Structure 1
Amino acid sequence: MTSGTGRDTRIIGSLRRVDDAKGAVTVEDVYDTDIDDLWSAVTEPDRLAHWIATIEGEPRLGGTVRTTFFASGYEGPGRIDICDAPRRLLVTFQPGTPDETVVEANLTPAGDGRTRLIVEERGFPLPEIAGHGGGWQLHAEDLAAYLGGHEPGKWPERWVELKPVYQALADDVS
């Protein structure tokens, strides 16, 4: 089933409480590509620039990068803490600040040349996790579009569709 925007209507994200003030967003999907291609799409700056963000700096283990996300306009530093190709990536954004979050991506083969990607970002203030949940689902959908040779979707319209669903999930976590 798809929505009026031509996107899948399923919800691929979940929200959870990390502590009294912080929460986490997790999205999980299976992509029609092998693990090496998906790893490349989620780690190489020239490929990231097609679907999520621009990356400048040193994209290597221990390196620092400056990321600018297209949809949200977020711009800030990130430190690559784990880079276990092609299975696991862990990046700390805004390291050492009160706004620090950690993004962890795990890739596993899903059979028939497909790959499962689970992305979790933890450290968001609880009142903000609904918006970030919808945002991460949109990033996952844009990745699927890119891998399929399509342009990313229309963010404002799709975010409005997802907002009440993720708000209900956030209300259950709070």
Structure 2
Amino acid sequence: MSTTSTTGTMHAQDDERGLVRVEDVYDTDVEDLWRACTDPERLARIDVCEAPHHLLLTQMPGTDEETELEAWLTPEGSGTRLVVEERGVPRGALDFYGSGWQVHLEDLGRSLAADGSAHPEGWSSAEAAPSWKRRWEALVPEYEAREVTTTP
């Protein structure tokens, strides 16, 4: 489990797009957290891969849904801080993305602590794990109430 709570912020990039930033500190070293966050089979789709500290990938390039996903891992005390930022998110969906990323980072902490899946009930190809979905639904109103600031 993470040593602090996951935090998320939302920022406007312009009138139509924004970014979501989430971060947490995990009770593990940078290399272990890097392995937990990356899948070698997907490296061909990654724009920047400076293992084990920095990752940048473009999702759905060349489409109206194109976003950039960037992650940084840095040592913090005996743990590792993970910061994830997704840019190009539609402004009207920042709350959905922010709450989703927060749940993913919380799950990562549980998975590292348990050395296994955070959702033993599993995911289907059509729907998220029930416990993930419940947590996401609980967080959406919190993110809806948060202020969207200018880009950091």
- Taking structure 1 as the reference length, the TM-score comes to 0.72
Residues 100-115 of structure 1: pairs in structure 2 closer than 5 A: 100-112=66-78, 114-115=79-80
Q: Which residue of 2 aligns with 1:158?
A: 135
Residues 1-174 of structure 1: pairs in structure 2 closer than 5 A: 10=5, 12-44=7-39, 58-60=41-43, 63=44, 79-112=45-78, 114-149=79-114, 151-152=117-118, 154-169=131-146, 172-173=147-148
Aligned partner letter, 1:131: F
SS for the counterpart of 1:162 is helix
| Structure 1 gap ranges (5+) | 1-9, 46-57, 64-78
Q: Aligned partners of 2:6 and 2:23: how far apart in 1?
A: 9
Q: Which residue of 2 aligns with 1:49?
A: none
Percent identical pairs in the alignment equals 50
SS for the counterpart of 1:40 is helix
Say whether the 8 Å CA contact 2:6–2:106 is kept in structure 1: no
Q: Aligned partners of 2:102 and 2:62: how far apart in 1?
A: 27
Higher helix share goes to which structure? 2
- Taking structure 2 as the reference length, the TM-score comes to 0.82
Q: Which residue of 1 aligns with 2:127?
A: none
Q: Which residue of 1 aligns with 2:122?
A: none
Deviations 1:36-78 (A, max 9, x none): 0001111135xxxxxxxxxxxx533xx2xxxxxxxxxxxxxxx
Aligned-pair CA distance for 1:31: 0.3
Report which structure shows greater RCO (CA 8 Å, sep ≥6). 2
Aligned-pair CA distance for 1:152: 2.1
Distance change (3 Å), C-alpha of 1:11 and 1:39: closer
Aligned-pair CA distance for 1:161: 1.5
| Count of equivalent residues | 135
SS for the counterpart of 1:141 is helix
